[in-house]
Amino acid sequence: MSSETEGGMDGIRKIEAGSALSWFTRAVDVGGRQARGLFAAAALGVLAMGAAAMVAALLLAVLVAAGLSPGEKPDIGRSMLVALPIILLFSLLMPVFGGGMQQVLHQAEAGRPVGAGDIFAGFVGGRFGSLAGLAILPLAGLALTLANYHVFGGPEYFAQYVAMLEEMTRGGQPVPPEVRSPALLFLVGMAINAVQTVLQLITVPLVQLSGRGTLGAIADGFRMMARNPGAVLTALALGLAAALVLAIVLAIGLMILALLAGLVPVLGVPLMLVLAFALMVVLFVIYHGIGYYAWRDQFGAPGRAPPAAPAQLEV
């Protein structure tokens, strides 16, 4: 609950740490509001991103295969380089489709009708450039992670890590990389992931619904963390707990599917694909639901229409 309704640090409302729990519960419950249109939009978004990634992967695979000698297999290093364009593509598409999902959630909460096509709201209305600009967050996170490997893992840590992966793919005995400072490597890595996760969650609704530019939304995200650290840390703890529970459920589900595939082989793979797709759609809705309610409690209002904003990087 909010302990302060207006004002505060640059208009960010002060909320209690326990408010973060309601973001999760409301995000899980959001499917009850116009469920057909909401999940249809999410499914279309997941399909569109998956199709784009598949096309990109096929094109890259053809390019890589053309550069290999007959019988030669690509090594881990080359595979990582091939993966970079796909990572960049996802980094660009995720916030844009996320903006569409935020618009869908906002309309559903306001009682306005939603349809599957609303998932493309991030591509129109002057939001595309600012949403796509949020790709800077995962790319900056990747750069900081590599810097963390170099500083606290050691100059040879990443090369040794890649060598270990290559050895594992060959079925040999992997040699773990030598780490300069294991504790600092872990703690700094956790901090980078935490900040990146929070910023990616809150900046999409700030761009789509508050009309902020890319840099302005990121700055608001940092101000939010300073204004409501208790709620942010609670949300991170709840997210970690939810991820662990999901991992356990997925492990059990995969074992059951493996048993079913053994009994009825023809149904194994199709059933796994359908269930994986359904899970991705549900997680897509819940993830953006958490971001939407975090935005609404601290920045927005239930019936507030998003103002127009130019599609550019701006503070």
**What is the rounded CA–CA span in Å between residue 248 and residue 123?**
36
Q: Residue 61 falls within a domain, yes or no?
A: yes
Q: Residue 55 falls within a domain, yes or no?
A: yes
State the average pLDDT over residues 144-157.
Answer: 92
pLDDT band per the 50, 70, 90 thresholds, residue 83: confident
Per residue in 284-296, pLDDT (tens digit) is: 999 999 999 999 9
In this predicted structure, the answer to whether residue 31 has a pLDDT above a threshold of 80 is: no
Rounded to 10 degrees, the C-alpha dihedral 258/259/261/263 comes to 170
Q: Residue 1 falls within a domain, yes or no?
A: no
State the average pLDDT over residues 47-69.
Answer: 79
Q: Residue 151 falls within a domain, yes or no?
A: no
**What is the rounded CA–CA span in Å between residue 63 and residue 59?**
6
Choice between 73 and 240, residue whose per-residue pLDDT is larger: 240
Q: Residue 45 falls within a domain, yes or no?
A: yes
* Confidence (pLDDT) at 125: 83
Tell me the three state secondary structure of residue 303.
coil
Choice between 273 and 46, residue whose per-residue pLDDT is larger: 46
Kindly give, in sequence order, each residue whose CB lies less than 8 Å from that of residue 121, ignoring residues fewer than 6 positions away: 99, 100, 103, 104, 127, 208
Per residue in 224-271, pLDDT (tens digit) is: 999 999 999 999 999 999 999 999 988 888 888 777 777 766 776 777
Per residue in 160-170, pLDDT (tens digit) is: 888 887 777 77
CB atoms within 10 A of CB 254: 12
**What is the rounded CA–CA span in Å between residue 181 and residue 178?**
9
Q: Residue 98 falls within a domain, yes or no?
A: yes
Per residue in 179-231, pLDDT (tens digit) is: 899 999 999 999 999 999 999 999 999 999 999 999 999 999 999 999 999 99
pTM of this prediction exceeds 0.85? no
Q: Residue 314 falls within a domain, yes or no?
A: no
Q: Residue 268 falls within a domain, yes or no?
A: yes
* Confidence (pLDDT) at 177: 85
Range of the domain at 273: 19-137+196-298
Q: How far is CA 268 from CA 185, 192, 194, 239, 254, in A?
A: 40, 38, 36, 30, 11
- What's the number of domains the chain is made of? 1
